[in-house]
Every structure is written in structure tokens, then in C-alpha cells.
Structure 1
Amino acid sequence: MIKTIIFDFGDVFINLDKEGALKLALEKFEITELDEELQSINALYEQGLISTDEFLEFYADNFPRLPKDELKSIWNYIIKDFPEHRLQFIKQLAKDNNHQLILLSNTNELHIDYIKKNVSFYEDFKNCFDQFYLSHEINLRKPNADIFNFVLTENKLNAEECLFIDDTLENTQTAQQLGINVWNNNPAAEDIVDIFTIKNELF
């Protein structure tokens, strides 16, 4: 019996363009791939271990042709639309009050600030959850096991009574190894609003 549903944010509720964002970044930076240093800086920022100013300063130093406003635009390009039917879905789930609802997202300050500015119903969405965990605020990130153990411990949860939903396979693999039920959703073909049909064997 599932008592707690733990949701990812990007490509579960809000649509992302990961491929387009990477392509744009490589073009603007005039590189062929994100090297280990860039990936490391991105991960540190996502985990809240460096500030937004430090993050932008790093990119400005490495790509001095690009002003900081353009760097922000490149970084936020990944964020697309938030279909309102998904808001209605989570509001109904909160109203029904049959499950504890937790959001667990790898999200950095620039992205969440952009979403707050451009998604008019962000606060309504956030208020649907019993807990709302963003990686840069808790200094932990998926797919590391410690972020899942943090959620389980903080909320006194039994792993087998939880369902974790995420579009990234390595994230759901880690959760599954800890005994959490998972749905590795495919954003191109599946919608979170169909959870009770797709994962009906768990409910």
C-alpha cells in the first residue's frame, strides 16, 4: 500500500528541453561537450555548494564573450511550459488527502527563480505538497543515496510504502535499491496525471 508519493519536478510537472538546452550551450560556448570541470561546477551549484554569483562568475571567466544576462538565458533555456492540467491533478490529490505528497527535485536557484517569475501558479503548486525539497536548499542531490535517506528519515517513512517518480533512470535506480517503489516515467509518452492507471498495481 502506497502511503507517500515522492515526485520529481522537471519533466514530471514542468516540461524541460534537455537536448535543446545542451545544444544551445555547446553552440554559444563554442565547445563540443561539457567537460568534467563544467559538469562539476553545475553539480556544485545544483547542490547549493556555490552561490549564484560564484556560478555566474565562473562562466563569465571561462566564456568572457558572453554577458551574464546571456549566460542566465542560456542556463534557463531548458525550462519550458507547465501544463495547467497537471496543477489541477496535484491540487485534487492534495484535496483528496489519501497520500502524503513530497516534491524532491534537483533544482538550482536560477531555475527556481525563473519558474517563480514565469509560472503564475507556482505558489499554488508548492502549497499542494506536505514537503517541498529542492537540492540547492538541502545541499543534497539525486542520484546520491543520501538524499533519499534524508527524505525517509526526515518524514519517518517506510521505503516500501513510498512511490518515487522521476524521468531520470539513475535516480529511480538508486531509490529502488533502497526499497522504494519507483516509476521511471517517459515524458515523451506518459503524463503524471495518468499515474493511477499506469501504476495501478501499487494502489
Structure 2
Amino acid sequence: MNTTKAIIFDLGMVLIDWNPHHLYRKLFDDEEQMKYFLANITTMDWNEEQDMGRSLQEGTDILINQYPEHEANIRAYYTRWDEMLGGIIEGTAAIFNQLKASGKYKLYALSNWSAETFDIARQRYVVLNQFDGIVISGVEKVRKPFPEFYHILLNRYQLKPSECLFIDDNYRNVAAAEELGIPSIHFVGPDELLVELKKRGIIPDTNGPIASA
């Protein structure tokens, strides 16, 4: 029996194609050098500090002090951040639209995202204004996978964990949600997500194609 009342989406790499490769392929001629830079200089751990509220300027200055030889490429991370946005992930957007149209579920977003860059995305993507609520780490000064971040959304919108479904591409974040009693799906792609939602009875299991976004 489907008891789900609220569906919680991660945003980057689930609904929105955010990827530093979109920018840095323009800046590096060598793919391996680009991968090294992103893995060892502008790391995900470093980026998550900005997602948790550290200013973009402070984060940039810290790295430039550590790696002055990479200053130009470090500065590009946020001065050209919008070039990391590749667009909406159409399959996920189509699922979102079908869930929205059904009227059966409240739809929320819980995202690790800098408060300073989120407005750029919000102005670009209409779907970000169609959620019933959005909780952004850079605003709250805490992020996934810390339990406090999930609790902010649950408490703010008076949600019961067992009546929610959480979708995230980072298994670390999925595991943290499940520890709190929130049923979760590890996102690997829109097709697999659709199959899982049908399996759980959230989207009707019909043979017809899902409507495009």
C-alpha cells in the first residue's frame, strides 16, 4: 500500500544538470588535467563548504592562497558558475510534472547549494518555483548528510518521515535519510527512477510513455 504523501527531490544532477565539467572543458585542452584539477583543487569537499554557507569569496581566496598557480581556473569556478548549468534533466522534469499534475503529493526540494548561486538557477528554471517548499543548505548553514538539515524540512512542513520519499544521486545522502526513517531512492537516471516509482505505486504502471516536460 502506498502511504507516501510528500516527495523530496535533490536538485543538482537529479532535476538540474549541474556539472563543473560543462565549464572546465572550455578551460582545459587535456581531459585528464581537467579531472585532476576538479578532483584535487576545487574538490567536492571544498565546494560543500560554500554549500554550507561559507561565502564564495572566502572559499575562492582560501584556494588561491593554497594553489596560486591555479588562480585563473579557481576564480572561474564561481565567476563563471552559470556555465556549469547544462539545463533541466528532461526525464526527471517529466516525472515531476506528472506527480504535480496528479495532485496526490506535496513536492519539496532539499539541496546542498550555495545561497549565493541558487537565485541564478531559480531565475533560469521555472520548475524551481513549482515546489511546495525548498530548503537550501547555504541558507540554513547546514547540509546533507547531517540529520539537522533533513529535520529542518520535516519540521517546517510538518512531514512524517514514513510518509515521505526522498530522491538523491548521492548514496551518502540517501543512507542518512533512511537512518531517519525516510524511505529513499538512490537516483541513477530518470528511467530507473520511473521504474522505481511505478514499483512503489506512486506513478501508475501503464504501458504508455510518460508525458514530456
- For normalisation by structure 1, the TM-score amounts to 0.75
2:60 is matched with 56
2:122 and 2:128 in contact (8 A); partners too: no
Mapped to 1, the partners of 2:99 and 2:179 lie a distance apart of 27
Cα drift, residue 32 of structure 1:
9.3
1:47 equivalent in alignment to 2:52 = yes
Which residue does 1:177 correspond to in 2? 179
Contact 1:164 1:183 in 2 (8 A): yes
What is residue 170 of structure 2 aligned with on the other side?
Answer: 168
> Sequence identity, in percent?
22
Deviations along 1:7-35, one digit per CA (max 9) or x if unpaired, are: 00012111244788899798369769538
How many residues end up aligned between the 2 structures? Answer: 196
* Stretch moving more, 1-10 or 74-83: 74-83
State the distance in 2 between where 1:30 and 1:172 align.
27
| Cα distance in 2 between the residues matched to 1:32 and 1:18 | 8
Q: For each residue in 1:105-158, what CA deviation from the matched residue of structure 2 results, as whole angstroms up to 9, or x when unmatched? A: 1112464355357x3xx1x21221111111101111111111112211111111
Q: Deviations over 1:45-102 (max 9, x none)?
A: 1101x21221222223223242364343686665433144544543443343211111
User: Which structure 1 residue ranges, 5 or more long, are not aligned?
Assistant: none
Secondary structure of the corresponding residue to residue 167 of structure 2:
strand
1:98 to 100, 104, 116: 104
Question: Map of 1:120-135 to 2, 5 A cutoff?
Answer: 122=125, 124-135=126-137
Q: Secondary structure at the match of 1:156?
A: coil
Q: Distance in 2 between matches of 1:5 and 1:195?
A: 13
Matched, 1:136 2:129: no
Cα gap change, 1:94 to 1:29, in 2 (>3 Å): closer
Q: How does 1:19-34 map to 2 (within 5 A)?
A: 27=33, 34=40
CA gap 1:16/1:52 in 2 versus in 1, 3 angstroms: closer
Which SS does the other structure have where 2:191 is aligned? coil
Superposition TM-score, scaled by structure 2 size: 0.72
Give the aligned residue type for 1:178.
Answer: L
Question: Given the superposition, is the C-alpha separation of residues 40 and 7 from structure 1 closer, same or farther in structure 2, using an over 3 Å criterion?
Answer: closer
Q: 1:13–1:192: 8 Å Cα contact kept in structure 2?
A: no
TM-fit CA distance, 1:42: 2.9
TM-superposed deviation, 1:39: 5.8
- How far apart, CA to CA, are the structure 1 residues paired with 2:5 and 2:85? 30
